[in-house]
C-alpha cells in the first residue's frame, strides 16, 4: 500500500462529492467517488479504498446500511462519517462513533483541515 491511502467519498450531492474529491486530491490522496451506498460497494469491489468517507443520509441505501455492508465485506476499511443532520450536534463524537461502529465522525460543514487531521489520526489499516 502506498503512502497516500485511497479514499472513497460517498455523498448524494454532486457538488459535495466534487469539492471533497478536489480538496483531498490537493492533499495528495487518491479519491474515488460514489453517489450512494450501492454504488460505493461496487466501486470498492473494483478499486478498494482504505478509508470510506460517507454521508449518513442518502437515498437508495441509507448511510447506516452502507456502513453495515462495508463493516461486513471490508472489515479493514476505516470509516469516517460526515453528516449535516442534527443527530451529532453538541455531542462528543467519539461515543457516537463507537456506538455505530465507525472510526470518526464529522459534522457538516467542516474545514478540510479538520478532515485531514481526522484522516491522519486514523489507526493504520
Which residues form the interface with another protein (CB under 8 A)? 12-13, 15-16, 18-20, 22-23, 25-26, 57-59, 82-87, 89, 107-113
Nearer to another protein, 23 or 69 (CB): 23
Instruction: Write down the least CB distance from residue 98 to another protein, Å.
Output: 23
Q: To the nearest whole angstrom, how small is the minimum distance from the Cβ of residue 102 to another protein?
A: 18
DSSP helix/strand/coil, 5: coil
57-65 own/partner pairs: CB under 8 Å, 24+ apart: 57/83, 57/84, 57/85, 58/10, 58/11, 58/12, 59/12, 60/36, 61/36, 61/37, 62/37, 63/10, 63/37, 64/100, 65/37
Q: Between residues 4 and 23, which has the closer beta carbon with respect to another protein?
A: 23
Closest approach of another protein to the CB of residue 92, in Å: 19
Amino acid at each position: 500500500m502506498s503512502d497516500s491511502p485511497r479514499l472513497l467519498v460517498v455523498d448524494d450531492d454532486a457538488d459535495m462529492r466534487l469539492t471533497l474529491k478536489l480538496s483531498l486530491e490537493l492533499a495528495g490522496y487518491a479519491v474515488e467517488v460514489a453517489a450512494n451506498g450501492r454504488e460505493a460497494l461496487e466501486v470498492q469491489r473494483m478499486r478498494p479504498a482504505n478509508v470510506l468517507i460517507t454521508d449518513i443520509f442518502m437515498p437508495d441505501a441509507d448511510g447506516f446500511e452502507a456502513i453495515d455492508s462495508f463493516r461486513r465485506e471490508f472489515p479493514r476499511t476505516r470509516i469516517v462519517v460526515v453528516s449535516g443532520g442534527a443527530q451529532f450536534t453538541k455531542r462528543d463524537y467519539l461515543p457516537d462513533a463507537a456506538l455505530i461502529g465507525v472510526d470518526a465522525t464529522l459534522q457538516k460543514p467542516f474545514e478540510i483541515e479538520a478532515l485531514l487531521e481526522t484522516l491522519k489520526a486514523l489507526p493504520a489499516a
